[in-house]
Structure 1
Amino acid sequence: MSAGKKRNVVVIGGGSGLPVILRPLRDCNVEVTAVVTVADDGGSSGVIRNFMNIVPPGDIRNALVSLSLLPDDFLKIFQYRFESSDEFFKNHALGNLIIAAMTEMSGDIFGAVQKLGRFMMISGKVYPVATDPLVLHAAFTDGTQGSGEHEITVAHKVIERLSITTEKGEQPTPTSEVLLAIDHADIIVFGPGSLYTSILPNLVIPSVGKAVKASPAKKVYIANIMTQKGETDHYTDASHIKAIYHNVTDGIIDYVLTNTAIVPEDYIDFQKWDEISTQVKVDLAEDKKLGVTPITGDFLELRDQGAFHDGQKIAEKLLQILDGKV
């Protein structure tokens, strides 16, 4: 590596978890690439997806905002969500509409996102994992099946196997830029985010899973703070890793970062955050059996009566892994 060359950090995920570490990584001396899921079919993203047949823009929007160097006042406008009383625009985020408009203008979601990234002065890159909207499919342990991220989430059932297709039922094709970023990565980070609807939807694309397996990069899974009702009840950090291996392939994780700071139950508003259940526990022995190095510590941020990752602490630990200090 030449002197002064930035290391390449690829972060794979989606949802509200991905931005937690993108912003602090943006301010580090690394080249950040966010690989974002395009399987969301709920909320504003789902409506735009259905009406315009484009990839859902919400997770892409959040990643762009997290990496942008523009003033916060502009970013607040981009993130503004119309009130429910606005019948035509209700619940749409302005940024989602802008991404949809630029996609329609160019006919190319990937090019539209790259152009918008330049407009927003992002430090890094944001790549939708594919240019077609994808459909998530789940086989549940009770023998039933579900399709679509929203349907799978609200089912609150234990998932046996996950797969993903285009809306035509074909095998998805990731962009060449995504595969190149994975190939050139010095470290690949999975999450933080929902295991089955933010992280795995990227990895179960066969060519993405194979590219991650083949990459010489260090691979880090950020375990969730809390389990998700129905989906990951009673999961330890090792249980999450087993699910990734079961759905993708063995041996694609080198490290797991797990928070061990206690989440006070009397702080959490379980009605507001109704998808979470109990704190994810670390299973050191099982982690090591799986060939994964566990890294534990206080990665907890309590806010808004919820439990979240402290992005700054996570970013610092990732840099230590990059530098071989862990």
Structure 2
Amino acid sequence: MMNEKLTRKKNRKPKIVVIGGGTGLPVILAGLRAKNADVTAIVTVADDGGSSGDLRRQVNAVPPGDIRNVLVSLSDIPEMQKEIFQYRFAVEDQSLAGHSIGNLIISAMAEMKGNIYEAIQVLGKMMMIDGHVYPAAEEPLELHAVFKDGTQVSGESSIAKHRKMIDHVFVTKLDGSKDVKAARKVVSAILNADMVVLGPGSLYTSILPNLMIPEISDAIKKTQANVVYICNIMTQLGETENFSDANHLEVLHRHMNQKFVDTVLVNIGQVPENYIDTEKYDEYLVQVEHDFNGLKKEASMVISNDFLELRDNGVFHDKEKVVEELFKISFDVQYYGRKFETNIDTI
């Protein structure tokens, strides 16, 4: 009977919600999709740089860039169609310079449907995505940072430029109102998940903008899902300079006014000296330092491994290794209960 119960639970698709933005999110989503998880992506809408920033200013659109990359990562359409969707116009193309076709399509669909939520659902069907994609909110948000010296700056793309220590961040609507609502189905997805994954991604500008939406914050505090944080490998210019892995968790918990991360994944692989192309990857500084005693104060379980992937003179998380660890956790969650208690560290 016990073996039958184990087999039945092991064969059920784990419900995994991944929250964030930037380049790390689609990589993890693609890996989870390949492992046949029931995946939901909740994507930040506070980006104001590049093509996404131009479109949100020109047509009052929700920034589409992170949404575009997530749709592609979960899509079953042929590679050629993905390449077309991702194609970015050259700098000499005047008004279209820097815009990707996918960004334009998402913005156009949002205008046709009257909102970004329905636009994403229609595009999800067209692109045959395996999973669910929801914006964190159904309107563009403004990210604000308050620095340790008391000064404040608005705009996601402006924060790092100041090179100041950040005290905290918060989000508003574009008119300054703090009455920010989560998009449809976001809260229910978090509450019904087996696992909620944060990161990898920029701490202050990719992860926290989602958590600063009150309904999302409340749902993460209430969920019985195991909440997993994938700690960044490198410190980031103007955001996490001189941070240890424990400092990342401390910031998350301080913003939410309670310890809510159950499990943290930490890379212990060493980045070779002078390996990174500092011109191409100019936002990354040095490898995040380890503070295992600090980590154990912040999370029930610390899982450390060589999660490092070195390619193109850049530093990335090894998708297969990270996803393998997430699936091990998800199996324990399904068998022992979603918010299982443990003090076991694999370091």
Give the TM-score category using the shorter length: over 0.9
Classify the secondary structure of the residue corresponding to 1:88: helix
TM-score scaled by length of structure 2: 0.91
Distance in 2, matches of 1:56 and 1:119, equals 20
Please name the residue that 2:53 is paired with: 46
CA contact (8 A) 1:223 1:256 kept: yes
Q: Residue in 1 aligned with 2:236?
A: 228
Of structures 1 and 2, the larger Rg is shown by 2
Mapped contact 2:166–2:239 kept (Cα < 8 A): yes
Local SS of the residue matching 1:47: helix
Deviation by residue 1:56-111 (Cα, 9 ceiling, x = unmatched): 00000000000001111110110000000100210001100000111111111100
Aligned twin of 1:322: 330
Secondary structure, counterpart of 2:48 in structure 1: coil
Question: Structure 2: which amino acid aligns with 1:172?
Answer: V
- Whole-Å Cα distance in 1 between the matches of residues 273 and 79 of structure 2? 33
Q: 1:20–1:310: 8 Å Cα contact kept in structure 2?
A: no
The equivalences for 1:86-125 within 5 A come to 86-125=93-132
Task: Say if 1:154 and 1:30 are closer, same or farther in 2 by CA, change over 3 A.
Answer: same
Correspondence for 1:215 among 214, 223, 240 = 223
Task: Tell me the C-alpha RMSD between the 2 structures.
Answer: 1.4
Is 2:278 the counterpart of 1:270? yes
Shift of 1:173: 0.2
Q: Percent identity?
A: 51
- Once superposed, which parts of structure 1, at least 4 consecutive aligned residues long, lie more than 4 Å away? 1-4
The whole-number CA distance in structure 1 between the counterparts of 2:68 and 2:93 is 21
Distance 1:265 1:255 in 2: 29
SS in 1 for 2:104: helix
Distance 2:42 2:51 in 1: 20
1:256 aligns with 2:256: no
Unpaired segments ≥5 residues, structure 2: 334-345
Contact 1:57 1:96 (C-alpha < 8 Å) held by counterparts: yes
What's 2:185 paired with?
177
Deviations 1:267-315 (A, max 9, x none): 1111211111110122111111124311101111111111011111111
1:33 aligns with 2:40: yes
Please point out which of 287, 290, 293 is paired with 2:295: 287
1:205 to 183, 205, 213: 213
Contact 1:186-1:218 within 8 A present in 2 as well: yes
Contact 2:146 / 2:168 at 8 angstroms: preserved in 1?
A: yes
- Measured in 1, the distance between the counterparts of 2:258 and 2:241 equals 22
User: Deviation of residue 237 (structure 1)?
Assistant: 1.1
Q: Is 1:193 the equivalent of 2:195? A: no
SS in 2 for 1:258: strand
Alignment of 1:305-320 (within 5 A): 305-320=313-328
Residue identity opposite 1:280 in structure 2: V
Pick one of 280, 286, 305 that aligns with 1:297: 305
Task: Report the Cα distance in structure 1 between the residues aligned to 2:102 and 2:136, rounded to whole angstroms.
Answer: 19
Output the CA distance in 2 between the equivalents of 1:239 and 1:220. Answer: 16
Report the Cα distance in structure 1 between the residues aligned to 2:164 and 2:23, rounded to whole angstroms. Answer: 22
Size of the alignment, in residue pairs?
Answer: 326
CA distance in 2, matches of 1:177, 1:289: 33
Aligned with residue 167 of structure 1, among 169, 174, 197: 174
| Cα distance in 1, alignment partners of residues 64 and 26 from structure 2 | 14
CA contact (8 A) 1:260 1:281 kept: no
Matched, 1:72 2:79: yes
Q: Does residue 238 of structure 1 match 2:258?
A: no
Distance 1:44 1:24, change over 3 A: same
Deviation at 1:207, TM superposition (A): 1.4
- Are the equivalent residues in 2 in contact too, given 1:135–1:164 (CA < 8 A)? yes
Distance 2:27 2:299 in 1: 27
Distance in 2 of aligned mates of 1:293 and 1:6: 23
Per-residue CA deviations over 1:124-147 (Å, capped at 9, x if unaligned) read 011001001000010011221100
CA distance in 2, matches of 1:61, 1:86: 21
Residue type of the partner of 2:164?
K
2:336 aligns with none
Q: For the Cα contact (< 8 Å) 1:209–1:249, is it kept in 2?
A: no
